[in-house]
């Protein structure tokens, strides 16, 4: 299943990752529009749309005739990982924030969104059965819930924390963490969360989300 979002959003995500991976540090200049567009395999107008989104977010600054510059971390509230921030802390932070967000989400969730979440989990199961890592489905599940309260800042923080886990640095730490079995367990935990949302039970959803992320952190460390 390919990404159905608009192209500029997908491009913005990819550029965010370029920045966030440290390939382009704060203050540094991104490749020229023409070059970056070719590098990403998209047209210049589409790239420009993505750059405007990033500019509005405060992630970059566009200077006419000069170039595209990466702004400081604080503005983009990015999650570059200075020393002292362990994987366990990352999952604790996610547990704290997402279990709070889901309480609000449970109160406003619509039937359509429940169907969407169900589809995401079905897609996740297919990926696992075919031996692939359902990272994108995992991300969509958590982000869809995080967007429900209608707070773009909270949604952005949840997305950033999720992406941090799959950054190259974390990948090195993680090693062979993501086995087929651990993904199956994670899927089951997602099912519990969804069941709580379907029951419109905020406290059960909160508990399920907290439990899932805590357990996910332990699996990460024990491997």
Partner DNA sequence: ATGTCAAAATTGGCTTGACCAGTCTTGAAC
Partner DNA sequence: GTTCAAGACTGGTCAAGCCAATTTTGACAT
Residues forming contacts to DNA in the complex (CB under 7 A) are: 6-8, 30, 32-35, 42-46, 48-49, 62-68
Among residues 30, 90, 120, 128, which is the contact residue for a copy of itself, using CB under 8 A?
90
* DSSP calls for 1-55: ----S-HHHHHHHHHHHHHHTTSS-TTPBPPPHHHHHHHHTS-HHHHHHHHHHHH
Q: Are 142 and 155 in contact (CB under 8 A)?
A: no
Task: Tell me: does residue 122 bind a copy of itself (CB under 8 A).
Answer: no
Task: Tell me: does residue 113 bind a copy of itself (CB under 8 A).
Answer: no
Taking the C-alpha atoms of residue 21 and residue 71, their distance in angstroms, rounded to an integer, is 14
Q: How far is the CB of 53 from a copy of itself (least distance, A)?
A: 6
Q: What is residue 221's three-state secondary structure? A: helix
The residue whose two tokens read 């709580």 is: 196
Q: What is residue 148's three-state secondary structure? A: coil
Q: Which two tokens stand for residue 35?
A: 């070059």
Task: Tell me: does residue 45 bind a copy of itself (CB under 8 A).
Answer: yes
What does 61 interact with, of DNA, a copy of itself, none (CB < 5 to 8 A by kind)? Answer: none
Residue among 62 and 80 whose Cβ is closer to DNA:
62
Among residues 84, 112, 131, 176, which is the contact residue for a copy of itself, using CB under 8 A?
84
Q: What is residue 166's three-state secondary structure? A: coil
Among residues 31, 40, 57, 211, which is the contact residue for a copy of itself, using CB under 8 A?
57
Residues that bind a copy of itself (CB under 8 A): 8, 45, 48-49, 52-53, 56-58, 73-75, 77, 79, 82-85, 89-90, 92-93, 96-97, 99-101, 104, 151-154, 156-157, 160-161, 163-164, 167
């Amino acid at each position: 299943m390919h990404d159905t979002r608009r192209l500029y959003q997908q491009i913005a995500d990819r550029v965010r990752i370029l920045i966030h991976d440290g390939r382009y540090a704060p203050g540094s200049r991104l490749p020229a529009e023409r070059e970056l567009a070719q590098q990403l395999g998209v047209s210049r107008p589409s790239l420009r749309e993505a750059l405007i989104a990033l500019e509005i977010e405060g992630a970059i600054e566009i200077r006419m005739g000069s170039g595209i510059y990466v702004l400081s971390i604080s503005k983009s509230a990015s999650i570059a990982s200075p020393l002292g921030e362990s994987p366990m802390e990352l999952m604790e932070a996610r547990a704290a924030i997402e279990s709070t967000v889901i309480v609000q989400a449970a109160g406003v969730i619509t039937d359509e969104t429940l169907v969407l979440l169900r589809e995401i989990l079905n897609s996740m199961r297919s990926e696992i059965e075919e031996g692939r890592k359902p990272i994108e489905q995992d991300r969509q599940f958590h982000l869809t819930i995080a967007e429900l309260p209608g707070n773009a800042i909270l949604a952005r923080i949840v997305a950033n924390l999720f992406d941090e886990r799959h950054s190259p640095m974390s990948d090195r730490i993680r090693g062979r963490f993501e086995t087929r079995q651990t993904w199956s367990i994670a899927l089951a935990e997602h099912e519990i969360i969804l069941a709580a949302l379907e029951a419109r039970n905020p406290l059960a959803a909160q508990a399920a989300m907290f439990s899932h992320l805590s357990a996910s952190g332990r699996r990460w460390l024990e491997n």
